[in-house]
Amino acid sequence: MALAAGRAMLMRSGVRLGTQAAARGGNGARRFMNHRVVVEPNTVPGVAVIKFKNPPVNSLTLEFLTEFVICLEKLENDKTFRGVVLTSDCPGIFSAGLDLREMCGKNPAHYAEYWRAVQEMWLKVYLSNLVLVAAINGTSPAGGCLIALSCDYRVLADNPRYRMGLNETLLGLVVPFWFKDTLVNTIGHRASERALQLGLLFPPAEALQLGMVDQVVPEDQVQSTALSVMTQWLAIPDHVRQLTKNMIRKATADHLIKHQEADIQNFINFISRDSIQKSLQVYLENLKQKKH
């Protein structure tokens, strides 16, 4: 169902599924390539590595979200895969979060389509039957952080330039309740109150201390650590682990599922306000200015 919706979304946004290519890597492994998401089976049996490849900053465009959901769905349906490592192909950036241009100067129909894609991506990641390990090899604000928080385990590169957190208030945005729930479930209520209101982005040592990530390792060991953690998780039989994960996460996901349409309407109303549009434009302008 989500796959069909995703395909329709891709068609609407002009992305041709026929451009997906399959090739053989050096180790003979099959390697699926979309435009923006690369899926590589790994040397660890049953484990794939998804690399985000939406340069320059892996922002979560509608096309990216659609490809990502389709990739995850394919891996879930392929019984040879039990775990996935999520990482980035863009140096120094895991994901810059939601694509600000998708939320700026568009019409309500576009905002509705975009927000549904964000919701569907989160539900797919958060409730995945696969073991998901985030190998966070770069900065990950807001929506990028949400993806990592929705995985089962997080390994972050020990680079003081990398920051992680939900910084929505710094953009003049209110954090969606399910982003908030995901953070609270990870770092607890009090730490979330402070982090969310101040829009804090944490360097690795602080992210570790807060429990936002599970491990901080040297940058060149992020993926290998994620793969060895995966081996530990895969030692548990899938069905008991999946039932346990579902038991823990279901209430949080159901909260969004129950209010999905209202959440879309709230998003449209909020993002369409002149004051919010101005804030986003100023934020984008500031990103440009800092280059000069």
Residues in region 258-277 near ligand L52RLTOW by CB under 6 A: 266-267, 270-271
Please identify which residue in 173, 212, 213, 256 interacts with ligand L52RLTOW, judged by CB under 6 A. Answer: 173
181 interacts with ligand L52RLTOW by CB under 6 A: no
- Binding range to ligand L52RLTOW, per CB under 6 A, among 25-33, 38-46, 140-148, 235-243: 140-148
Distance CA(47)–CA(43), nearest Å, equals: 8
Smallest distance, ligand L52RLTOW to C-beta of residue 130, A: 23
Q: Does 174 bind ligand L52RLTOW (CB under 6 A)?
A: yes
Neighbours of 21 (CB within 10 A): 9
The least distance separating ligand L52RLTOW from the CB of residue 207, rounded to whole angstroms, comes to 15
Compute the distance between CA of residue 57 and CA of residue 72 in angstroms, rounded to an integer.
21
**Residue whose structure tokens are 């440009």:** 288
Q: Is 59 in the site for ligand L52RLTOW (CB under 6 A)?
A: yes
> Any contact of residue 183 with ligand L52RLTOW (CB under 6 A)?
no
Residues with active-site annotation: 98, 143, 167-168
Residue 291 makes contact with ligand L52RLTOW by CB under 6 A? yes
- Using rule CB under 6 A, residue 88 touches ligand L52RLTOW: no
Choice from 67, 99, 120, 181 touching ligand L52RLTOW (CB under 6 A): 99
| Residue whose CB is nearest to ligand L52RLTOW in the complex, by number | 97
Our CB check for ligand L52RLTOW shows the closer of 129 and 266 to be: 266
Is the distance from CB of 179 to CB of 166 less than 8 angstroms? yes
Is 182 in contact with 176 (CB distance < 8 Å)? no
Among 6, 41, 46, 97, binds ligand L52RLTOW (CB under 6 A): 97
Residues that bind ligand L52RLTOW in the complex, under the rule CB under 6 A: 56-57, 59, 93, 96-101, 139, 141-143, 167-168, 171, 173-174, 176, 266-267, 270-271, 284, 287-288, 291
